[in-house]
Each structure stands twice: as structure tokens, then as C-alpha cells.
Amino acid sequence: VNAEIVAIGSEMLTPFRSDTNSLFLTEKLNDLGVDVVFKSIVGDDRPRLVSTAKLALSRSDLVVFMGGLGPTEDDLTREAVAEALNLPLRRDPEVLAALEARFAERKFVMTPNNHKQADVITSATVLPNPKGSAPGQWIAGKYEGHDRVVILLPGPPHELKSMFLTECQERLRAKLPVRFLATRVLKVAMMGESLCDSRIAPIYTQHADVQTTILAGAGEIELHLRASGATLEDAHRRIDTLAGEIEDELDDSIFSTNGESLEQIAGYYLQMRGATVAVAESCTGGMVAERLTSVAGSSRYFVGGMVVYSNELKTKLADVPPLLIEEYGAVSREVAAALAEGVRDRCNSTIGIGITGVAGPTGGSAEKPVGLVFHAIADEDGTDVVERLFTGDRQRVRRFASQQALDMIRRKLM
Amino acid sequence: VNAEIVAIGSEMLTPFRSDTNSLFLTEKLNDLGVDVVFKSIVGDDRPRLVSTAKLALSRSDLVVFMGGLGPTEDDLTREAVAEALNLPLRRDPEVLAALEARFAERKFVMTPNNHKQADVITSATVLPNPKGSAPGQWIAGKYEGHDRVVILLPGPPHELKSMFLTECQERLRAKLPVRFLATRVLKVAMMGESLCDSRIAPIYTQHADVQTTILAGAGEIELHLRASGATLEDAHRRIDTLAGEIEDELDDSIFSTNGESLEQIAGYYLQMRGATVAVAESCTGGMVAERLTSVAGSSRYFVGGMVVYSNELKTKLADVPPLLIEEYGAVSREVAAALAEGVRDRCNSTIGIGITGVAGPTGGSAEKPVGLVFHAIADEDGTDVVERLFTGDRQRVRRFASQQALDMIRRKLM
């Protein structure tokens, strides 16, 4: 079964806004065994909308229209799809009453333009929208002799997502051939994309029954696995087999098999071990603390952090000996270790993290180039330092360094 | 003149990747006076590509195809556009020689599949690609009796952007009617979208000759102004007039008229006044420090930061009196002020910032609900505290609070 997604709204034809709803819909449709084969974006222009709708109906089994269901003159999706399907609109009294109740409840005056939100394509099922005013519509019928399903959804993401999940998912499942799909996401820390691929390509190419997608970011790779099967067990067995072989090969470079972020995993291990962490950051400027504390409940294991840009503060807050900075420089293995030990001591945490490096774009030298970062982790048994040379701009170097530090917490505790 | 952008590649029909190149192209095309009226995304499937190309050629003056120019079997854009235009491909000996030279220089073996990157549509101008191997193509001709310009660009963003700017912009300008456009972006801090719109709508609706777009984020609104004119001066005069009236109305809520971020502007004022800043953060967890230090050269005015989650550390690092925490609670006006004063004192900075609040999702109470944040700024003249109640999830509350703190630095120094 092939689907086409049509996003409607002139704002998505400006340089400022792009369609992101289709990523959510694609994931959910793929889970139902539906392939998305076209995406179109069209403005609030009736003739263009009608021709886009006709084209989509002529070539795709399922067509999802998103947006253009509001009360303004620019909201033309209902009218255009009705024209393309050659079906009249009717004003639905129940929908109108619900709209009136909604306005009354909020003590808003309902202006006449709002009435058109109660217009429904003949033969359509109305999809309620508890999160907004415009209802959606579901039409199953023939177009030029072919079976078609047509869905109209509101544009605001929270309305669209909620309506798809509550109103469309099961309706679609009931109409589609039964298919069983299993998916898994493996996340890999601090490995280059080509190294990762060269290690796992010999494995996944032997599993043509599983679709493998590799997505690379700064210090993080996601491996998306997807398989279908005659039964759900069969689909899961295929995924499990491939995932198991990849996990054997990449071993502890895999930090998550369940979608968690690295900061969540680091926090998970800290909590599991009853450990606490404190961080002293120079070049990352607070990014490690910010990432650790972005996780709800992190106050249980995150004690505190310091951003020590100046040498004076490295000494004053984290007790780095001035002579150490003088002898080795602020960006050095020794100062990173002293930061980790100093912050651990000051904050009385189980683990201390110290980071110092050259984020760039300036400040590099032949000996200490832009991208050079020292990461230290200290606990009661001693201190380890990892030296890395990252490439990319300031933000990318900082992101890489924060990723390395979080990964060191994970590896220390796992 | 109407344009259509066709993005080619099956990866853009997955849940993982969306087309972002079209935002760049739309901006550049708008600057040339060209409207983008359709965007399409199609996979690596020859029949679908050919029909998409024919449709685009039938309805749009300018069609830009992006992607599918590489050496693999999936790269079908050349073949499909040639078929749609009913023009044969020819293998270009100069392009082939350049490809061979490129491979030789990198000491790579050129496999036969690479040869097809030298295939050029008859009548096309070859667009060199110094950043990659696949050249682009430019075709100006007739389709079904209409004048059409067809551009083939590579998919990787840095190759596409560079090729458009060096090879396409001037070629297009030469073919298009002369139009003069001026644009301006005004950024507004810490004002709600509806309040902002209610204040400026009476102004911009009086200026129908300027297109005004309002984009809202957490604690930040962007006003995009765009006008055309008979001369460049004329276009600028229209923008200047409207921008001036909006600036009079919103006054010092506007922090940037030149695209700068709030952290850049805060840094700009700090540097201009020869001032330094240090921050003590609780609920923002390092976000203010991270944002301030994301600006290159921030070591000139950013001294240091503390992330003090526990009450113990608030006292130990920032000298907040324990009795103050006991009496007013960690989330209070008094503790925010003490944090700002304490970090200023400890770090010996001109300005101290203190933030304490409830980021959520848990930890709220009837008296101190989720979203309540106190922001303090201390200097030699004293300490100011701003109390705000933000809505949204943890990340949004933290983003709002960091925005408020940066805006307080700006207002203090401007």
C-alpha cells in the first residue's frame, strides 16, 4: 500500500517553516506497513490545491492532507478536496453545535467565518479534535475506479499527532492487510561513521530481511533496524538476530537499545550505583551540566557544576594548583585531571568530571590546535584522562566533548 | 515568475530525514523576486521521477531538482529529467576528464559506475562542483511551448549552496525581470506573540507594500520584513519606514535588527562596557553559561559559572546563607538575589546572575508551581530580581529562563 502526504499552507513555501509533521506520519504509516512514496507541499491557492489533490488521488492508495482546516479565507482544504473528489460539502449540525459549545465555554464570540469549520465532505466520517477547533475527516471510497482512503488532518503538530493516534491508526489497521513489523534503534557513542559501517556492513548485508539505516551525529550514531514477518514473533526474531550480531561486534560502544539519550543513560547508571557526579568545565562552557540536568529527576545524582573559563577561577573554585597551569598550560592532561579531582572534592561527589580544551575558532596553536580536548574522570580509585582531537566548528567541538564526558561516566559505572 | 523545487532521494521519505535545502533555495529565489509555489519530494524511482519532472515542467517557469546526481544505481535524476524533456544524454569528455583527475589526485580508483556522473543532458550547461564529484546542469529552453529554466543541483547542502551561489544566482538574475528587494529581521525578547502582534498589527497593516512575517519561539519573536521597489533605495525606504515605526512601538523590547542572537547581543554590551559576568544557575542547569560561551571570544567577558543544584552547594560555592534557604525556600526571590551576589563576589565579576526555579515536570507545589523562576542580576549598585511563571515542558521552561537572564544583562548595560 502506497501513501502520499500533502502539506498545505503558504507558510511552508517561505524560507522560515518546513513540514515536520510528515516525519511523524511516515513513522506511523511505516509501522502499519504503508510506504510513503510522495510528499508535496502546496500553498493556500484553490486551483493548485485541487490539481494537487487530483494528482495524489490518481496515483496513491492513501492520501493524507495536513493543514488548511481553520476558519480563515486561506483555509481551503475542505473545499479543494471536495472538488477533487467531486463530492459536495454539507454543513454538519453536530459539528456546528460542538463548535458553538467550545466558543461559549471559552466565552469567545463565534464569528461567521468559523461556521465553515463544520463543513464536511459528503460520505466523510468526522474525526473529533479535542485539542483544537477544526475536526478532521476520513473518507474511504473510489476515485477513478480505484479504492482510496483520504484523511484530512489539522496542521498544528499536537492536534495532528493526537488525532492520528486516536482516530486514524486503528481505522487504517482495519483496512490494511495484516502485517507484522518490528523496529529497534541501537545508539553508538564516540565512533566514526565509516569505522562503524565498515565493522557492521559485513553483518547487516547478510540480513536482507532487515532494513538497516545508519544516521550519524556528533559523537553519536543511530542504527535503525526494521523487519516484517508472517507473525509478530517472526518479525521480532529477525530484528533480535541482527541486533544480537551487531551488539557482539560493537560491544560496549552501544549505549542504548531503547531510544534513550546518552545523558539519560549516564544518569541511569549513576542512580543505579547510588553515585553522584559534579563537573568542572572549561571549553564546553556548561554543556555537560546542561545535558545532565535536562533529564527530569537529575537532582538525585547531579550535585553541581562549575564553568571555569579563567585560570584564576580554575584555582579558586576547583583548587587547580597555579603551578600546574603554569607548567603544562590550561589545556593539558594535568589540568583536566586536577579539575576533575578538585570539583569532586569541593562538591563531595562520588565522581568528578574535568574538561579543558580549545573549542575555537581562535586560540589554537601548533602544539594545541583547535579541537584538542582533555576529558578527565575522577573517583575514589583514581583519575583517567582521555585526549581527543575533534574536527568541526565551535559548537560541534563542544558537542563532541560533552558526548565524550558523558560516555566516560557510562563506561566507568557500567 | 513561479518556481518549483523537487527534492529527490528515498531517504527523505523515511521518518529520519527531511529536506532543508529548499529553505535556503527559497530564500535566494525570493531575493530574486521568484515565488516558490510547489515543493515535491520523490524517491529514487525512475517512473515516479519522470512523471514528477513532467508535471513540474508543465506548471512552473523554473524547476530546481536537488539530489540524485551521484554515481550509484539509485542516482537517476539525469536520466529522468532527460526523459521528461525528451532530450538525449551525452557523455561529456571534459567532465569525464575532470572526474578522472579528481580521483587520481585523491589516489582513488575510479570504478565504471562513476562514469555516468559525466552524462549531460543535450543543450545543458555544465555547472562545476569544486566541493564534490557530481557536476550540476542548467537548461534554458521550451517545454510544451513555454519558456522554462531547469536546474539540476547535487543534494549535499554544502555542495548545493556553493553551486547555487556561484553558478545559478547571476544566471537567473540575467534571465529575470529586474526587481529590487530589501529585507530586515527584528528580534524581540520576552514578549508574548499575541501581545506583540496586537501592538504592531495596527502598524504593519498600514504598510501593505511590506510583507511582514511573525515567527515565535521560547522568549523570542522574529519579525521578518520584506519589500520590493522600483529601485533598491525605494525598497530600503519602505523597510526603513515600517521598521522605524515598529521600533518606536516596541522600543527596547527589540534587541537585534541584524540577525544576532541574544547571547551575542549580551556579549556585545558586556564587551562594550568593559564588564564581566558570572552566573550561578539552579534550574537552568548550565544553560545560561552554555549560551554565553557558545559565542566565540566570550572568554573576554565571561568569567565563570556555577551550577548549584543542592542547597549545600548553594551555600558552599555561592555563599547563600543556609538560614535564607530555610526561611524562604531554595526557589525564592531572596535566594536568587543571594546567588547573584555570591557568584559575583566569588568570581570577582562586574555582574552576577542568579537563577532558581522549578523546571518540572515534578517538584512543583501550590505555592511554587512548575514554571516559577526567579532571575536576579547584581552589580555594584545593587540587585534586581524578576519573577516569572513560564508554561511548557522542562526544556521550554529552562529555555525561557535562560532567555530572561540574558535579556536582563542586555537591559542592565544598554
Helices B46-59, A46-59: crossing angle, 10 deg rounding:
160
Among chain B residues, CA nearest to A347:
B313
Q: Exposed, middle or buried: residue A4 (CB in 10 Å: 0-12, 13-18, 19+)?
A: buried
Judged by CB atoms closer than 8 Å, whether chains meet at B286 and A305 is answered as yes
pLDDT at residue B41 is higher than 90: yes
Among chain B residues, CA nearest to A42:
B38
Helix (H) or strand (E) holding B82: helix B77-85
Helix (H) or strand (E) holding B399: helix B394-413
Query: Which residues on chain B are in Cβ contact (under 8 Å) with A42?
Result: 37-38
Among chain A residues, CA nearest to B7:
A39
- Find out whether the peptide bond into B361 is cis, omega within 30 degrees of 0: yes
Q: How confident is the model at residue B109 (pLDDT cuts 50, 70, 90)?
A: confident
- Assigned C-alpha cell, B175: 534571465
Of B144, B143, B145, B139, the C-alpha closest to B175 is B139
Judged by CB atoms closer than 8 Å, whether chains meet at B309 and A288 is answered as no
pLDDT of residue B193: 85
pLDDT at residue A321 is higher than 90: yes
Give pTM, 2 decimals: 0.88
pLDDT of residue B192: 86
Q: Which residues contact A166 (CB under 8 A, 6 or more apart)?
A: none
Among chain A residues, CA nearest to B25:
A15
> For B140-155, what is the mean pLDDT?
96
Which of B42, B59, B313 lies closest to A347 in CB terms? B313
Which residues on adjacent β-strands are paired with residue B382?
B379
Which of B37, B42, B51 lies closest to A43 in CB terms? B37
Distances (CA, A) of A201 to A182, A207, A239, B399: 20, 10, 15, 40
- CA triple A216-A219-A220, angle to 5 deg: 50
- What's the CA gap between B363 and A252, in Å, rounded? 35
- What's the CA gap between A121 and A118, in Å, rounded? 10
Residues of chain A above pLDDT 70, percent = 100
Q: How confident is the model at residue A258 (pLDDT cuts 50, 70, 90)?
A: confident
**Sheet of A254-256: strands edge to edge?**
A210-217, A220-229, A180-189, A254-256
| Residue B97: Cβ within 10 Å count | 11
Which of B51, B213, B308 lies closest to A16 in CB terms? B213
Q: How confident is the model at residue A41 (pLDDT cuts 50, 70, 90)?
A: very high
Q: How confident is the model at residue A263 (pLDDT cuts 50, 70, 90)?
A: very high
- Establish how many alpha carbons lie within 13 A of residue B279's alpha carbon, considering only the half-sphere containing its beta carbon: 30
> For B252-276, what is the mean pLDDT?
96
Q: What's the distance, CA A257 to chain centroid?
A: 15
Dihedral over Cα of B185, B186, B191, B194: its sign:
negative
Q: How far is B414 from chain A (nearest CA, A)?
A: 25
Mutation choice for A interface testing from B12, B307, B310, B347 by most A CBs within 10 A: B307
Distances (CA, A) of A122 to A51, A90, A149, B309: 20, 6, 14, 59
Query: Which residues on chain B are in Cβ contact (under 8 Å) with A213?
Result: 11, 14, 16
pLDDT of residue A205: 93
Q: How confident is the model at residue A103 (pLDDT cuts 50, 70, 90)?
A: confident
Contact between residue B6 and residue B81 where contact means Cβ atoms under 8 Å apart: no
Question: What dihedral angle (degrees, nearest 10) is formed by the CA atoms of B335, A267, A352, B295?
Answer: -70
Cα separation of the two ends of chain B: 45
pLDDT of residue A229: 87
- What's the CA gap between B116 and A198, in Å, rounded? 26
Query: Which residues on chain A are in Cβ contact (under 8 Å) with B52?
Result: 38
Which of A11, A59, A215 lies closest to B16 in CB terms? A215
- Assigned C-alpha cell, A115: 461556521
Which of B22, B285, B395 lies closest to A289 in CB terms? B285
pLDDT of residue A107: 83
**Residue B285, phi-psi category: left (phi > 0), alpha (psi -120 to 50), beta (remainder):** left
Which has the minimum average pLDDT: A57-61, A280-284, B107-111? B107-111
Judged by CB atoms closer than 8 Å, whether chains meet at A22 and B18 is answered as yes
pLDDT of residue A181: 87
> For B160-184, what is the mean pLDDT?
93
Q: How far is B355 from chain A (nearest CA, A)?
A: 14
Judged by CB atoms closer than 8 Å, whether chains meet at B309 and A308 is answered as no
User: How many residues comprise chain B?
Assistant: 414
Query: Which residues on chain A are in Cβ contact (under 8 Å) with B12?
Result: 39
Judged by CB atoms closer than 8 Å, whether chains meet at B18 and A13 is answered as no
Across chain A, mean pLDDT equals 94
pLDDT at residue B229 is higher than 90: no
Of A279, A280, A286, A318, the C-alpha closest to A302 is A279
- What's the CA gap between B377 and B351, in Å, rounded? 7
- What's the CA gap between B64 and B138, in Å, rounded? 9
Judged by CB atoms closer than 8 Å, whether chains meet at A313 and B307 is answered as no
**What's the ipTM?**
0.86
Question: What dihedral angle (degrees, nearest 10) is formed by the CA atoms of A328, A329, A331, A332?
Answer: 0
Judged by CB atoms closer than 8 Å, whether chains meet at B293 and A306 is answered as no
Query: Which residues on chain B are in Cβ contact (under 8 Å) with A26?
Result: 13-15
Judged by CB atoms closer than 8 Å, whether chains meet at B292 and A304 is answered as no
Q: What's the distance, CA A152 to chain centroid?
A: 25
Among chain B residues, CA nearest to A359:
B296
Distances (CA, A) of B136 to A412, B126, B155, B180: 50, 6, 10, 28
Which has the minimum average pLDDT: A74-83, A115-124, B224-233, B307-316? B224-233
> For B89-106, what is the mean pLDDT?
92
Query: Which residues on chain A are in Cβ contact (under 8 Å) with B342?
Result: none
- Assigned C-alpha cell, B71: 554515481
pLDDT at residue B29 is higher than 90: yes
Which of A12, A52, A309 lies closest to B302 in CB terms? A309
pLDDT at residue B178 is higher than 90: no
> For B162-191, what is the mean pLDDT?
93
In the 8-state DSSP scheme, what is residue A167?
Answer: I
pLDDT at residue B25 is higher than 90: yes
Query: Which residues on chain A are in Cβ contact (under 8 Å) with B41?
Result: 38-40
Q: How far is A307 from chain B (nearest CA, A)?
A: 4
Among chain B residues, CA nearest to A308:
B304
pLDDT digits (tens, 9 = 90+) for A236-251: 999 999 999 999 999 9
A-B contacts at Cβ under 8 angstroms: 197
pLDDT at residue B392 is higher than 90: no
Among chain A residues, CA nearest to B298:
A309
pLDDT of residue B214: 87
Mutation choice for B interface testing from A4, A307, A339 by most B CBs within 10 A: A307
Which of A45, A286, A312 lies closest to B290 in CB terms? A286
pLDDT of residue B374: 98
pLDDT of residue A215: 86
pLDDT digits (tens, 9 = 90+) for A217-239: 889 999 999 998 888 899 999 99
pLDDT at residue B72 is higher than 90: no
pLDDT of residue B19: 93
Contact between residue B303 and residue B278 where contact means Cβ atoms under 8 Å apart: yes
Render A326-383 in DSSP notation, one character per residue.
HHH-SSSHHHHHHHHHHHHHHHT-SEEEEEEE--SSS---SSS-TTEEEEEEEETTEE
- What's the CA gap between B279 and A299, in Å, rounded? 19
> What is the residue whose three cell numbers read 522574529?
B222
Which has the minimum average pLDDT: A82-86, A186-190, A305-309, B30-34? B30-34
Which of B40, B48, B304 lies closest to A310 in CB terms? B304
pLDDT at residue A177 is higher than 90: no
Which of A286, A304, A313 lies closest to B303 in CB terms? A313
Helix (H, G, I), strand (E, B), or coil: what is residue A283? Answer: coil
Query: Which residues on chain B are in Cβ contact (under 8 Å) with A312?
Result: 348
> For B264-285, what is the mean pLDDT?
98
pLDDT at residue A402 is higher than 90: yes
Render A176-232 in DSSP notation, one character per residue.
SPP-EEEEEEEEEES--HHHHHHHHHHHHTT-TTEEEEEEEETTEEEEEEEEEESSH
Query: Which residues on chain A are in Cβ contact (under 8 Å) with B304?
Result: 306-310, 313, 317
Amino acid present at B335:
V
Of B284, B249, B244, the C-alpha closest to B403 is B284
- Assigned C-alpha cell, A226: 526494521
